[in-house]
Amino acid sequence: MTGRDLTRGASRFLRIAVLGFAALVAAPATAQIAPQPEAPQAADPAPPGDAPAPEQKKPPRLVLDGRSLPLGGALKIPGMWQAYKARFVTESGRVVDTGNNLISHSEGQGYGMLLAVAANDRAAFDRIWGWTRANLMVRDDALLAWRWEPGKRPAVADMNDASDGDILVAWALAEAGDFWNDMSYRTAGRRIAVEVARKTMIFKTKMGAILLPAVSGFHENDRADGPIINLSYYVFPAFTRLKLVAPEVDWPGLTQTGLNLLDATRASPETLPPDWMSLKDWTYKPADGFPAQFSYNAVRVPLYMAWAGIGEREQYEPFMALVRKTRGSMSIIDVSNGVEVGKFGDAGIGAIGALTACVVEGSKAPPQLFMLAPQDNYYPATLQLLSVVAMQMRYASCLR
């Protein structure tokens, strides 16, 4: 949501110290990426003599495993989950955003539930789901209120949802129902998934199936530059698994639209997507009122692509170029000119750099990937643990 992301960005942007994984990528920072194919142009003059012009070799296409894989039990490092749970999950099941005034939100509850399934910790899953159901499912539909603030009454002041939080919770329930063979989880996951499709997805647009960030505030009727989308709300690994509970929804179409929108942001081979995008008149530009930056939201896009096992090399290259430049730590980029405007202040976000390098270049995971940094807050620690799960599920060769 607008308030959440601006608050998150402001609070985390102050932590400018460079704590990233400094040695995630072996390639030098000056390495260049292959240019995108361009429209045919006049051929360059032939070299002197009869020697043929040298042919430029294109890098091979990525070969990814995009199968629908179950999440249950995928996390093979129980100590990481135990450390995460001790720091960020209360006994009542509230996942605490330690970098954002100790609030809780549907995104965090969904991440916590997913990690509990991956760690085969049903007791923790039930605690997190129970708190979520009691405190965030307070709307008059099957979706979740997005934000809960401790010490305030009411703790839920904004009844709007966040579609990524809804999707994460529905996905976690679908995985739990499949892994633990519990129909109640499947039923709850289906209710949320169907409601997401009914209230936050727009079908049959010129760009395909569009996912709005929430029920209210982002439609073309809500904003002059609407509709507004956030690519990091396209939780690609969830879409193949939500077919378990809501097969009638066009999840494949949503995946394809997300990849197409990513392509639309790439004005050059290294152009990164912004956190917030306007699709007014079905053309792309950064959304009004938001920084035109690749930041705490959009950094999740390569994580979700890699976790789902989807995407082409050119779609990963902007992220890989950033990984090379920052030696894996990633950074905040002004998408209009490619200039670095800040650094992520926690080490865990560098795990996405390690995952990206694994996918694109087959780089081995660094040892520090498998231990949470003690100073990291909820969000970077969560992204680190999710990156480890993604790597263990689909990229075992990078773990050897």
Q: What angle, 0 to 180 degrees and rounded to 10, lies between the N-to-C axes of helices 106-118 and 378-394?
A: 40
Half-sphere exposure of 143 (CA within 13 A, CB side): 24
The token pair at 368 is: 């520090």
Per DSSP bridges, beta strands 104-105 and 147-148 are: antiparallel
Catalytic: which of 164, 175, 314, 317? 164
End-to-end Cα spacing for the chain: 39
C-alpha 56: how far from its chain's center? 34
Q: How far apart are CA 95 and CA 290, in angstroms?
A: 27
Q: 136-173 burial string, b = 16+ CB within 10 Å, else e?
A: bbeeeebbbbbbbbeeeeebbebebbbbbbbbbbbbbb
107 a catalytic residue: yes
Of 262, 244, 272, 148, the C-alpha closest to 208 is: 262
Q: Which residues pair with 394 in a beta bridge?
A: none
**Strands (DSSP E) along the chain, which ranges?**
104-105, 147-148, 201-205, 208-211, 228-229, 277-278, 285-286, 293-294, 332-334, 339-342
Please provide residue 342's backbone torsions phi and psi, each rounded to the nearest 5 degrees.
180, 170
175 a catalytic residue: no
Catalytic: which of 5, 97, 107, 175? 107
288: left (phi over 0), alpha (psi -120 to 50) or beta: beta
Q: Which residues are identified as catalytic?
A: 107, 164
